[in-house]
Amino acid sequence: MKIAFIGLGNMGLPMALNLLQAGHQVTGFDLAKAQLEAFAAAGGTVAPDAVTATKDVDVLISMLPASNHVEGLYLGEGGLLAKASPNTLLIDCSTISPKVAQAVAAAAKAKGFAMIDAPVSGGTAGAQAGTLTFMVGGDVKDVELARPLLEKMGKNIFHAGASGAGQTVKVCNNMLLGIQMLGTSEALRLGIANGLDPKVLSDIMSKSSGRNWTLELYNPCPGVMENVPSSKAYAGGFGVDLMLKDLGLAVENAENLDASVPLGKLAQQLYELHSKAGNGQLDFSSVFNLKKVD
Ligand code: NAD
């Protein structure tokens, strides 16, 4: 298949490389030169802009930071919906507002395109290993069309429901993730303050009722686990500002529906404090170092 991949960041680059490795022809575009160079070095074809990348492709995949980037890419006079061929299957893997995902998919449908929202979970390690979980929203036939391709980048492909449903699942998941990371950090800090070895504490809690993904697979305390951001000065991974964006989406969504998310709101405030202290670009597990708040 001929694929255009727009957004070759921490997640997009390894995802695009997995498609290349599976034998697809992948043309990539990113606004950052370093990302384009990394993609070219791994054998990818680089396009000078997004519109050129989509020329004569079967599928277009986007993996951008937030709602406004996705709107900018697809909508408006210079947007891809005005420039690409309607035979192209559109797959947006970015984490964005469910409302925006629905609006962009509706605009795409009006122009004759098939479009699905397919945000992911599994982090950069999952993107590299091709073991991501995809949470997909859209028409069944479009999801089934995309499935073989998504299986080259992920292990679990879930159809959550109609357009926007993938994003809604993602928002719920990441609100839980953000809260869990804060809880794990607090528990580890308390143990350390009591003189416990954080590795011993983590091993025991991982076999007890406090077990969770942030403790077992993404431990926020440096030195407890190899190959996670906390052991690499919190570089790479999933940025504090991206987590803050997702908590913003969760709180906004809850407010629109009059749903109660007090812990989500508190988590949003704590990550905001941490970001404002200059940590926005670090991995979100760096919230382990949040200054004392009482
Ligand atoms: P990133 O900031 O590393 O990458 C985004 C890339 O998009 C950057 O390289 C940027 O230059 C590029 N970009 C921005 N606007 C563009 C445009 N108009 N055209 C082309 N390129 C453009 O972010 P990431 O960590 O790869 O995350 C991407 C998305 O995936 C986000 O929505 C994030 O919430 C979600 N996500 C991230 C993780 C993670 O662990 N990093 C996990 C799951 C989901």
CA of 207 to the centre of ligand 1 (A): 34
The closest residue, in CA terms, to atom 30 on ligand 1 is: 94
The answer, yes or no, to whether residue 259 has pLDDT greater than 80, is yes
For residue 235, give the DSSP letter: -
pLDDT digits (tens, 9 = 90+) for 123-178: 888 999 999 999 999 999 999 999 999 999 999 999 999 999 999 999 999 999 99
Residue 44 contacts residue 36 (beta carbons within 8 Å)? no
pLDDT score at 236: 86
C-alpha 175 – ligand 1 centre gap (Å): 18
Instruction: Give the Cα separation of 171 and 62 in Å (integer).
Output: 18
Give me ligand 1 centre to Cα 88, in Å.
22
Mutate which of 33, 64, 67, 175 for ligand 1 pocket (most atoms within 8 A of beta carbon): 64
Express as a percent the part of the chain with pLDDT over 70: 100
Atom of ligand 1 nearest to the CA of 13: 26
d(CA 19, CA 33): 21
* Domains of the chain with bracketed CATH: 2-162 (3.40.50.720), 168-289 (1.10.1040.10)
pLDDT, tens digit, for every residue of 6-40?
A: 999 999 999 999 999 999 999 999 999 999 999 99
Instruction: Note the pLDDT of residue 265.
Output: 98
Distance from C-alpha of 9 to C-alpha of 188, rounded to nearest angstrom: 31
Pocket of ligand 1, beta carbon within 6 A: 6-12, 29-32, 35, 50, 63-65, 69, 72-73, 94-95, 120-121, 123-124, 237-238, 242
Count of alpha carbons within 13 angstroms of residue 81, beta-carbon side: 22
pLDDT for 291: 81
Instruction: State both tokens at 107.
Output: 């605009």
pLDDT digits (tens, 9 = 90+) for 184-239: 999 999 999 999 999 999 999 999 999 999 999 999 999 999 999 999 999 988 99
Decide if pLDDT at 48 tops 90: yes
Please state, in angstroms and rounded to a whole number, the distance separating the CA atoms of residues 243 and 246: 5
pLDDT at 293 exceeding the cut of 80: no
Residue 50: pLDDT over 90: yes
Residue bearing the CA closest to ligand 1, atom 34: 95
Distance between CA 152 and CA 130 in Å, rounded? Answer: 7
C-alpha to C-alpha distance for 264 and 175, rounded to whole angstroms: 6
| Ligand 1 site-directed mutation target among 5, 11, 232, most atoms within 8 Å of CB | 11
Nearest CA to ligand 1 atom 6: 9
Pocket test for ligand 1, best of 49, 63, 104 (most atoms within 8 A of CB): 63
Distance CA 286, CA 218 (A): 11
Q: How many A from CA of 75 to the centre of ligand 1?
A: 18
- Count Cα atoms within 13 angstroms, Cβ side, for 69: 16
In which band, very low, low, confident or very high, does the pLDDT at 292 lie, cut at 50, 70 and 90?
confident
| Cα-to-centroid distance, 242 and ligand 1 (Å) | 9
pLDDT of residue 230: 98
Cut 0.85: pTM above it: yes
Q: Any catalytic annotation for residue 170?
A: yes
Active-site residue, selected from the candidate residues 33, 55, 170, 276: 170
Distance CA 275, CA 168 (A): 24
pLDDT of 96 reads 96
Residue bearing the CA closest to ligand 1, atom 7: 7
Opening angle at CA 90, ends 120 and 98, nearest 5: 50
pLDDT of res. 58: 97
Please report the pLDDT score of residue 102 as a whole number.
Answer: 97
Q: Please write the tens of the pLDDT for every residue from 91-138.
A: 999 999 999 999 999 999 999 999 999 999 998 889 999 999 999 999
